[in-house]
Amino acid sequence: MQASIVVTTANAHRFDPAARSRATAFVVALLVLWPLLVWSQFHPALLFETRNLAAIAQFLGGFLPPDMSVEFLRHVMRSTIETVAIATAGMSLAFLIAVPLTVANTRALSIARIGPGPGWRMSRVLHVISRGLLVSLRGMPELVWALVFVRALGLGPAAGVLALAITYGGMLAKVYAEILESADTEAARVLLQAGSGRTLALVYGLLPVAASEIVSYTVYRWECALRASVVMGFVGAGGLGQLMDQSMKMMNGAEAATILVVFLLLVLVADAVSAALRRGLA
Amino acid sequence: MNLDHRALRICTKCLFAMALLATLVVASFAYLSLGLERLLTIDTARELARFLLSFFPPEVSQRYLLKTANATLETLAVSAVGTLLAAAFALLLALPASGRYGSVMRACTRFVLNLLRSVPELIWAALMVLAAGLGPFAGALALAAHTSGVLGRLFAEALENAPAAPAAALVEAGAQPAAAFLYGTLPNVLPQLLSYSLYRWEINIRMAAILGFVGAGGLGQMLYFELSLLHQTQACTVIIAMLLLAALVDGLSAMLRRWLTSA
């Protein structure tokens, strides 16, 4: 009895009342999608073309077993250390770039904001310049900088380090300023009003409340820098990425598999280290 | 006394951390032997400055601008198609990953999602160029692979947190599981899934512009090509197009967000 009622009511609404509007939306979406598919040269059949299938099958077939020869592993080891070193060196340069920009960009440290004093016009100009610098440093992705520096300085880690220093310098400065702003700025204001300099106000007024967050963000960024330095290797900026690019260009699946595994392990370890460090700070 | 002791201990700890950090940084620079000090010599600095200045003025002939606009459209299409594929694939993977088909399936799909996510887009692109040949299609596939890992996890979490009552009521009334999902669960989570997908699209537009460095089409491939041929002025135009695209996306997404939150 109960079941038959359910069936008849289900039959009464056999067709979804919203079906028509949904079908229309679907057709419109397809019409919008069509040019996108054309522009992106969407041809799934390409994946099954014999030439491409043969290439990828040969490459992926080489994945097992991964290349575990001692000589190659030593090579990978050296590249891994290089990747970590690129990330660390890049971050330390980025930090050097970020500190003065942060001081210039943090409104809580602006003496001119308290009231017009001598030289406030100058500080306004400096502020605009430093803000513009910030935006232009961050605007270009690190991979583009790396490509440009590889052309200027040649293949190798120097391009990666400089690219990281520039983009991460801008990024760190922006986030540092935001962290300092979001903390309690009262102490810094009082110090500035009492006539202390910016450095003193930063060290005694802002850092005590914001230091742990700043350090934790820096550690997180180091983790990102590690991944970025691997990726930048693909345009020739040294480290694990460059090695992987070479293996892929030579279609050597066994080598690529080893590098991929090492990369995943590296990311895992960096993730764990950074999480542990940040937990220790909290 | 006790307090003094603690302060002292913390300080040795942070001193130790500082020393460790300094050692790491010095060791990194020593290991790389970058020769950055040569940047400080006047000759190299002048060389670098000349190289950077050779990017200006950007090439603005009409033909080249058209070509750049074309590549920009290609980049946009790659990001859109890649994100759409990723959203569809992510929803498929999110069903088992939200524990719908038992905990074994859940663990397995979560592992797959993690794998997809931890390989960066550019490495996926290098792989996809092998699988699908040079061109934008490889870029779309690469974005789809990485993004479906990211979205799959977010979707699975959204599905896990969705209220269970509507779907349960439908099943109790005799609906098939698929219908119960489509009409009971999906409407509740759809806005969230959409906003995650839009957010990833925004990231993917920027990504699509540089995936071309390994041959996956769009602005990136053009930039790589021009820089290889030492066509700096042309490269400058492409870089400006990239910056404009990023700024446009930033502005639009800020506007959209404001509009959505105010509505």
pLDDT at A14: 65
Residues 6+ apart with CB under 8 A from B247: A139
> Which residue type, as a one-letter code, is found at position A40?
S
Task: Decide if A143 touches B, using CB distance below 8 A.
Answer: yes
* Same domain flag for A39 and A158: no
The reply to whether A47 and A167 lie within a common domain is no
DSSP A43: -
Q: What confidence tens digit (pLDDT) does each residue in A148-188 have?
A: 888 888 888 999 999 999 999 999 998 998 888 888 878 88
Residue A77 and residue A110 in one domain: yes
Nearest CA to A114 out of A194, A21, A13 is that of: A194
Contact A149, A235 (CB under 8 A): no
CA A264/CA A250 separation, integer angstroms:
21
pLDDT at A5 > cutoff 50: no
Are A45 and A108 members of one domain?
A: no
- Confidence grade of residue A1 (pLDDT, cut at 50, 70, 90): very low
User: Could you report the per-residue pLDDT of B182-219, keeping only the tens digit for each?
Assistant: 888 988 898 889 889 988 998 999 899 889 898 888 89
What residue ranges define each of the domains in chain B, with the CATH number in brackets?
2-53 (no CATH), 62-150+192-262 (1.10.3720.10)
If you measure CA to CA, which chain A residue comes closest to B123?
A: A231
**CATH number of domain containing A141:** 1.10.3720.10
CA distance A192 to chain B (A): 28
Residues of chain A contacting residue B120, judged by C-beta atoms under 8 Å apart: 227, 230-231
CB of B36 within 8 Å of a chain A CB? The answer is yes
Please tell me which residue, A272 or A281, carries the higher pLDDT value: A272
Per the structure, the count of domains in chain A is 2
Confidence class of residue A4 from pLDDT cuts 50, 70 and 90? very low
Q: How confident is the model at residue B121 (pLDDT cuts 50, 70, 90)?
A: very high
Interacting residues of A218 by C-beta distance below 8 A, sequence separation 6+: A91, A95, A172
A48 and A79, same domain (yes or no) = no
Q: Which pLDDT belongs to residue B20?
A: 86
120-139 of B, contacting A, C-beta below 8 A? 120, 122-123, 126-127, 130-133, 135-137, 139
Please list, in sequence order, all residues whose beta carbon lies within 8 angstroms of the beta carbon of residue A281, skipping any fewer than 6 positions away: A212, A215, A216, A219
Residue B9 is predicted with a pLDDT of: 57
Could you tell me if A144 and B223 are in contact, meaning their C-beta atoms sit under 8 angstroms apart? yes
Name the residue among B131, B223, B227 with its Cβ closest to that of A56: B131
Q: Tell me the C-alpha distance between A174 and A139, whole Å.
A: 12
Q: How confident is the model at residue B148 (pLDDT cuts 50, 70, 90)?
A: very high
A44 and A75 together in one domain:
no
pLDDT of A147 higher than 50: yes
Q: Is B187:B197 a contact under the CB 8 Å cutoff?
A: no
Last residue of a domain, one of A35, A61, A87: A61
Both A93 and A205 in one domain: the answer is yes
The verdict on a CB contact (< 8 Å) between B34 and A37 is no
Answer whether B155 touches A (CB < 8 Å): no
Whether A80 has a pLDDT exceeding 90, the answer reads yes
- Give yes or no for B80 touching A (CB within 8 A): yes
SS (H, E, C) chain B: CHHHHHHHHHHHHHHHHHHHHHHHHHHHHHHHCCCHHHHHCHHHHHHHHHHHHCCCCCCCCHHHHHHHHHHHHHHHHHHHHHHHHHHHHHHHHHHHHCCCCCHHHHHHHHHHHHHHHHCCHHHHHHHHHHHHCCCHHHHHHHHHHHHHHHHHHHHHHHHHHCCCHHHHHHHHCCCCHHHHHHHHHHHHHHHHHHHHHHHHHHHHHHHHHHHHHHCCCHHHHHHHHHHHCCCHHHHHHHHHHHHHHHHHHHHHHHHHHHHHHHC
* A158/B119 CB distance under 8 A: no
pLDDT value of position B230? 85
Model pTM score: 0.83
Nearest in space to A57 (alpha carbons), one of A253, A236, A268, A219: A253
Q: Is the pLDDT of residue B3 over 70?
A: no
The answer to whether the CB of B201 falls within 8 A of the CB of B79 is yes
Q: CA B261, CA B239: separation in Å to the nearest integer? A: 33
Residues A152, A86, single domain; the answer is: yes
CB contact under 8 A, B81 and A42: yes
Class of residue A12 by CB neighbours under 10 A (exposed 0-12, middle 13-18, buried 19+): exposed
pLDDT score of B224 more than 70: yes
Does A33 contact B at CB distance below 8 Å?
Answer: yes
Q: What is the mean pLDDT of residues A216-242?
A: 91
Q: Which among B142, B147, B144, B152 is positioned nearest to B214, based on CA atoms?
A: B142
Per-residue pLDDT, A51: 80
Residues sharing a CB contact under 8 Å with residue B69, sequence separation 6 or more, in sequence order: B241
> Which tokens is A260 given?
């991929």
**Confidence band of A115 (pLDDT split at 50, 70, 90):** low
Q: Which of B74, B131, B246 sits opposite A39 (nearest CB)?
A: B74
Domain endpoint, select from A20, A41, A61: A61
Angle between helices A157-182 and A142-153 (to 10 degrees): 150
State which residues form the domain around A51: 2-61
Residues A6 and A94 in one domain: no
Cα distance between residue A225 and residue A217, in whole Å: 12
**Reported confidence tier of residue B50, pLDDT bands at 50, 70, 90:** confident
* Residue from B114, B122, B234 to probe the interface with A (highest A Cβ count within 10 Å): B122
Rg (CA), chain B: 25
Same structural domain for residues A39 and A105?
no
Please tell me the predicted confidence (pLDDT) of residue A146.
92
Cβ–Cβ gap A147/B223 under 8 Å: yes
CA A154 → CA A76, A146, A211, A230, A235, distances in Å? 21, 10, 38, 17, 11
For B139, the closest chain A residue by CA position comes to A40
Whether the CB of B69 is below 8 Å from some CB of chain A: the reply is no
Question: What is the structure's pLDDT at B35?
Answer: 74
Nearest-angstrom CA–CA distance, B93 and B147: 12
Maximal CA-CA distance, chain B: 82
- Residues with Cβ within 8 Å of B34's Cβ and at least 6 positions away in sequence, in order, are A89, A157, A158, A161
DSSP code of residue A240 = H
| Residue A15 near chain B (CB below 8 Å) | no
What is the Cα–Cα distance from B255 to B263, expressed in whole angstroms? 12
Do A43 and A77 fall within a single domain? no
User: Predicted confidence band at B1 (pLDDT cuts at 50, 70, 90)?
Assistant: very low
* Residue ranges of B 217-236 with Cβ closer than 8 A to chain A: 217, 223-224, 227, 230
CB contacts, 8 Å: A153 with chain B = 48
Last-in-domain residue among A61, A93, A108: A61
Q: Is A187 an 8 Å CB contact of chain B? A: no
| Residue environment code for B226-262, b if the CB has 16+ CB neighbours within 10 A, otherwise e | bbeeebbebbbbbbebbbebbeebeeeeeeeeeeeee
Task: Give the DSSP H/E element, type plus range, for residue A168.
Answer: helix A157-182
Question: Which pLDDT tens digit goes with each residue over B74-103?
Answer: 999 999 999 999 999 999 999 999 888 888
* B27/A40 Cβ within 8 A: no
Whether residue A15 is found in the same domain as residue A99: no
> Looking at chain B from residue 193 to 212, which residues have their Cβ under 8 Å from any Cβ of chain A?
206, 209-210
| Average pLDDT of the segment spanning A253-270 | 91
Nearest to B210 among A6, A141, A152 (CB): A141
Counting Cα atoms < 13 Å in the Cβ hemisphere of B97 gives 24
Out of A43-47, A159-163, B4-8, the most confident range is A159-163
